[in-house]
Structure 1
Amino acid sequence: MSLTELSGTPTPERATTTAMPTRPGRRTSPFGALLLRLHFYAGILVAPFLVVAALTGLAYTTTPQLDAVLYGDQLTVAQVGERQLPLAEQIGAARNAHPDGSITTVQPGDGDQTTKVVFSLPELGENQHTVYINPYTGESQGQLTTWFGSTPITTWLDDLHRHLHLGTVGEHYSELAASWLWVMALGGVVLWWRRRGAARSAARHLLVPDLSTGKGVRRTRGWHATTGIWLTVGLLFLSVTGLTWSRYAGANFATGLDALSARTPEISTSLTVDPTTPAETGGGHEHGAAGAGGVVEMAAFDRVLAVARGAGLSGPVEITPAPGPGSAWTVTQVDNTWPVKKDRIAVDPASGTVTARSDFADWPLLAQLSGLGIQAHMGILFGLVNQILLAALALGLLCVILWGYRMWWQRRPTRADRRAIAGTPPAPGGVRGLPVWALLIGVPVTVVIGWALPLFGLTLLGFLVIDVVVGAVARRPRPAATPTSPAPGRN
């Protein structure tokens, strides 16, 4: 027996007969290949839109603090008094400060908040002029050009986030980002689970990045995927709520709500009146305020507010004068923090009776969820906690995108004969390899999703067409190389 055999080290012959066969690499399924390629190209092409949405959304989360810094003198009073002046006196002070325009809404001051008297003028379009009145002294504390109650800085940042101040054209960017965000988030979860392999390994590194892989693309992938897992629920929420008020998908969402009778209920402002009875009018600016329906008595604001308080509408409210003769006034709760107060009533100012009521608790469930989702998306629903969560989501999304681009760069060829500035994309042809049953199910589902989310559908169709074409070109046989003939006269 040789020393080699005694030591247990196999001879070349034994090694040939006893060595374990090499384990073949796991073959990627057609579905996995297609999902990987889709996730890759969406990350490369859609991620810039998501970066813009995340940065502008991050800026928007700071609007409450910006409002306090920039417009604190208009929004709040320096000292809270013991008793508020009648609304009629406050509105009169606002009219003296702003003689032009029609009064559209009045929001009585509450605590250290000023009373907001909103005037509309034709030349302002959707904007309004808001005059801020100290409810305890009746002094005007300034005027701002607002958009449905939002201050100039909030309006500017909101427009930046929604359409980059580009109007209708700019709306496409935010809808495209929201349309693909949920696909990228869910696709990343599926790919990460498949990559982890065994269930034990998946559970171990699903929520904690695998730092045992050393440096390079594997560690970057661990941070990219694990952070994405943590953000998945929040990103899905941002995607869904963002789509509800987008141009195309939002219109389809509204159509669906109508079909399900799940819209926010309208409140009737109709009054049965004698057409021969003259409408209430005031004698001028000293006694009346121009409203949507003409000149109204200022004292009616106090009567309507008293009726609303008696009907249980507590907290901040907004009073809207009647749009015309034969219509009731409306009073709406405008407390959007949790628990929200969004009840509304219609009031006949002449008789002081409630003619209609719509309570938030009676709204359809989808209407409630839609309203709450929008407030949470805007960072209002849970106050400072809501702002912090949104900021964390935005920063986390930026990190995930950065790590995604870093992986693309780390996977680049570095050999001297085939250097490149970025990694090669996953192999094409995933669609061609899908089984028939997957196509029979997947195609109709994709068509439905594409109809509901038109920008997603169009871009997905473009990707699939390109994927099929590129795959077909890659499969074309290359012509065999023609052997070089020897030069004449040479042997």
Structure 2
Amino acid sequence: MSTALHTAPGEPAPPPTGGATFRGLRPLIARIHFYAGLLVGPFLLVAAVTGLLYTLSPAIERWVHDDALHVPVTGPELPLSEQVAAAVATRPGLPVAEVRPSAEPGVTTRVSFDAGLPESYRRTVFVDPYTAEPQATLDTYAEWLPVRGVIDNLHRSLLLGPPGQVYSELAASWLAVLAASGLVVQLTRRVRARRERFLPRGGGSPRARLRSWHGAVGVWASVGLLFLAATGLTWSQFAGANVGALRSAMDWTTPAVATALPATSATDPAGNTPAPATAGTATPATADTAAPATTDTVAGTADRVLTAARADGLDGPVEIVPGDPGEAWSVQQTERSWPSQQDSVAVDPATGVITDRLAFDDWPLAAKLARWGIDAHMGLLFGTANLVALAALASAVIVLVVWGYRMWWLRRPVLPGGARGAAGPPGSRERPSPASVGVVALAAVLTGLLLPVLGVSLLLFLLLDAALSARRAAPAAVAGDEGSG
């Protein structure tokens, strides 16, 4: 008959039982959590502050660029060709890269041009759809206006370009490690009551209260933080490239409509004259199709392409991308809130015939998950609720980092002269087992194959811990030798 163990009221619970490997691994997990929080904390703080600013960017964008985004409704919309022609007249000679027709009453039409700007930037003319009068010309970043583009790049690279992206990759990588390791530490630590692992408790020393709040908030935010880390890494510099290569190898890439048109041919291989094209079938490329898509032909063709796409069921906001000479134009829905509308078609610019179509429902599941994950990370999937959730997670990271530094400051030991020294990692007296160190070192090497920034920095943390442990052990060993003598 087994005897149940009971804890007297107010008495700390015994440490959780577990295998020898875990008992040796837990101190190492706690140390990694400590070193990562101490050394990577500034990067996480910058990422969280800029991320919090990003959640405000839609409102800031609407306020700063209201004159470019909105116009009074003064009558029916003019044909798209007239709006495009008005934009082209302001930028003669520049090739049209994209057209975004007005998506709702009172919203301008965007006509973007390739103007030799840095990658992802375009010169965009905003046109009043009711008068065809250009309202503003801005250098946009992808679909974002300048102010939101600056905030996005500040969050992603500190406005330093590719070198600056290492910071955000380091922060995203270690955000996942800190969330997972903190979860392990919090759920396995000694507490008087199980609820203290999930809810902060009052009383005790200032450091004890901080640790309670730090642990509880970390537990509740952990799932969201792991999500932000995983989705953020998908477009990071090194890990993102590896993820992209893996998706390509597994055929999980985002599909796109085929824009190639059949070669011009008067007869088929059997010598028969092709039947007239009907809606939904490809037609041979004509002389007009093969001609370069100049700014003049773009203005004249935009109506035909949009009409064909609308007739095929592409409602809501769309983007029109002119094809290269001899290619179809593509039209894609751009509604990224839930439920996503991302259907697309390819249209022969000479005839307005749909040559290919791709429904979002036909995307591979991995491509859908990637789309939804990125859109949720950017606050687009669930609208205002999504932005509020992101702001809450960013605020959680800020307070967790600040509390972590405060706890470290309060743990400073008193030196013989009365001064304060630097606090070491928690559980310094518990030596990680060699097996646990080997397991984590192997995990660092394997992780480094996909997440090189994380793998390299994790190995550096292990070396740092080994060096500091050896330094602390040396005086103890000398004292032991003197005592035995």
- TM-score band by shorter chain is 0.7 to 0.9
Q: Does 1:66 align with 2:60?
A: yes
User: Residue 144 of structure 2 corresponds to which residue in structure 1?
Assistant: 150
Q: 1:188 to 1:222 in 2, by over 3 A?
A: same
Indicate if the aligned counterparts of 1:431 and 1:468 stay in contact, CA closer than 8 A.
no
Q: 1:439 to 1:41 in 2, by over 3 A?
A: closer
Indicate if the aligned counterparts of 1:34 and 1:429 stay in contact, CA closer than 8 A.
no
User: Residue 119 of structure 1 corresponds to which residue in structure 2?
Assistant: 113
User: Residue 102 of structure 1 corresponds to which residue in structure 2?
Assistant: 95
Alpha-carbon separation, structure 2, partners of 1:219 and 1:430: 23
Letter matched to residue 160 of structure 1 = L
Q: CA deviation at 1:209?
A: 0.4
Q: CA deviation at 1:290?
A: 2.7
SS at 1:101 equivalent: coil
Q: Does 1:340 align with 2:334?
A: no
Alpha-carbon separation, structure 1, partners of 2:409 and 2:31: 16
Q: Does 1:256 align with 2:246?
A: yes
Indicate if the aligned counterparts of 1:409 and 1:421 stay in contact, CA closer than 8 A.
no
Indicate if the aligned counterparts of 2:96 and 2:298 stay in contact, CA closer than 8 A.
no
Letter matched to residue 333 of structure 1 = Q
Q: Does 1:207 align with 2:208?
A: no
SS at 1:298 equivalent: helix
How many residues are treated as equivalent by the alignment? 446
Letter matched to residue 208 of structure 1 = L
User: Residue 321 of structure 1 corresponds to which residue in structure 2?
Assistant: 322
2:77 pairs with 80, 84, 88, which one? Answer: 84
Letter matched to residue 462 of structure 2 = L
Q: Does 1:457 align with 2:455?
A: yes
Indicate if the aligned counterparts of 2:298 and 2:322 stay in contact, CA closer than 8 A.
no
Q: CA deviation at 1:164?
A: 0.5
Indicate if the aligned counterparts of 1:101 and 1:120 stay in contact, CA closer than 8 A.
yes
User: Residue 33 of structure 1 corresponds to which residue in structure 2?
Assistant: 27
Indicate if the aligned counterparts of 2:336 and 2:380 stay in contact, CA closer than 8 A.
yes
Q: Does 1:278 align with 2:276?
A: no
Indicate if the aligned counterparts of 1:320 and 1:329 stay in contact, CA closer than 8 A.
yes
Letter matched to residue 259 of structure 1 = A
User: Residue 169 of structure 1 corresponds to which residue in structure 2?
Assistant: 163
Alpha-carbon separation, structure 2, partners of 1:244 and 1:134: 37
Letter matched to residue 84 of structure 1 = E
In percent, how many aligned pairs have the same letter? 40
User: Residue 308 of structure 1 corresponds to which residue in structure 2?
Assistant: 309
Alpha-carbon separation, structure 1, partners of 2:64 and 2:12: 66
Indicate if the aligned counterparts of 2:320 and 2:331 stay in contact, CA closer than 8 A.
yes
Alpha-carbon separation, structure 1, partners of 2:241 and 2:431: 31
Alpha-carbon separation, structure 2, partners of 1:184 and 1:349: 53
Q: CA deviation at 1:289?
A: 7.1
User: Residue 411 of structure 1 corresponds to which residue in structure 2?
Assistant: 411
Q: CA deviation at 1:89?
A: 0.8
Letter matched to residue 449 of structure 2 = W
Greater Cα shift, 237-246 or 257-266: 257-266
Indicate if the aligned counterparts of 1:428 and 1:467 stay in contact, CA closer than 8 A.
no
Q: 1:88 to 1:182 in 2, by over 3 A?
A: same
Q: 1:237 to 1:252 in 2, by over 3 A?
A: same
TM-score by length of 2: 0.85
Q: How does 1:34-49 map to 2 (within 5 A)?
A: 34-49=28-43
Q: 1:297 to 1:103 in 2, by over 3 A?
A: closer
CA displacement, residues 253-299 of structure 1 (integer Å, 9 cap, x when unaligned): 111111211100132101013289533599xxxxx9735xxx52523
Q: CA deviation at 1:417?
A: 3.6
Q: 1:394 to 1:125 in 2, by over 3 A?
A: closer
Alpha-carbon separation, structure 2, partners of 1:399 and 1:24: 28
Indicate if the aligned counterparts of 2:286 and 2:350 stay in contact, CA closer than 8 A.
no
Letter matched to residue 271 of structure 1 = L
Instruction: Structure 2: state its 5+ residue gaps.
Output: 1-10, 17-21, 266-284
Indicate if the aligned counterparts of 2:415 and 2:421 stay in contact, CA closer than 8 A.
no
User: Residue 218 of structure 1 corresponds to which residue in structure 2?
Assistant: 208
Indicate if the aligned counterparts of 1:114 and 1:132 stay in contact, CA closer than 8 A.
yes
User: Residue 13 of structure 1 corresponds to which residue in structure 2?
Assistant: none
Alpha-carbon separation, structure 2, partners of 1:400 and 1:23: 25
SS at 1:105 equivalent: strand
SS at 2:149 equivalent: helix
Q: 1:221 to 1:63 in 2, by over 3 A?
A: same
CA displacement, residues 111-146 of structure 1 (integer Å, 9 cap, x when unaligned): 221110111122565421111111112111111111
User: Residue 368 of structure 2 corresponds to which residue in structure 1?
Assistant: 368
Letter matched to residue 343 of structure 1 = D
Q: CA deviation at 1:314?
A: 0.6
Indicate if the aligned counterparts of 1:429 and 1:467 stay in contact, CA closer than 8 A.
no
SS at 1:379 equivalent: coil
User: Residue 191 of structure 1 corresponds to which residue in structure 2?
Assistant: 185
Alpha-carbon separation, structure 2, partners of 1:41 and 1:441: 18
Q: CA deviation at 1:396?
A: 1.3
SS at 1:129 equivalent: strand
Instruction: Structure 1: state its 5+ residue gaps.
Output: 1-21, 283-287, 483-491
Alpha-carbon separation, structure 2, partners of 1:382 and 1:388: 10
Indicate if the aligned counterparts of 1:67 and 1:154 stay in contact, CA closer than 8 A.
yes
Highest CA radius of gyration, 1 or 2? 1
User: Residue 18 of structure 1 corresponds to which residue in structure 2?
Assistant: none
User: Residue 290 of structure 1 corresponds to which residue in structure 2?
Assistant: 294
Alpha-carbon separation, structure 2, partners of 1:117 and 1:423: 58
Alpha-carbon separation, structure 1, partners of 2:12 and 2:390: 46
Q: 1:71 to 1:24 in 2, by over 3 A?
A: closer
Root-mean-square deviation over aligned CA pairs: 2.8
CA displacement, residues 338-393 of structure 1 (integer Å, 9 cap, x when unaligned): 11111111011222221111211111111111111111111111111111111111
Q: Does 1:393 align with 2:387?
A: no
Greater Cα shift, 468-477 or 346-355: 468-477
Alpha-carbon separation, structure 2, partners of 1:246 and 1:87: 37
Q: Does 1:132 align with 2:126?
A: yes
Letter matched to residue 140 of structure 1 = P
SS at 1:39 equivalent: helix
Indicate if the aligned counterparts of 2:319 and 2:334 stay in contact, CA closer than 8 A.
yes
CA displacement, residues 392-416 of structure 1 (integer Å, 9 cap, x when unaligned): 1111111111111111111122476
User: Residue 426 of structure 2 corresponds to which residue in structure 1?
Assistant: 426
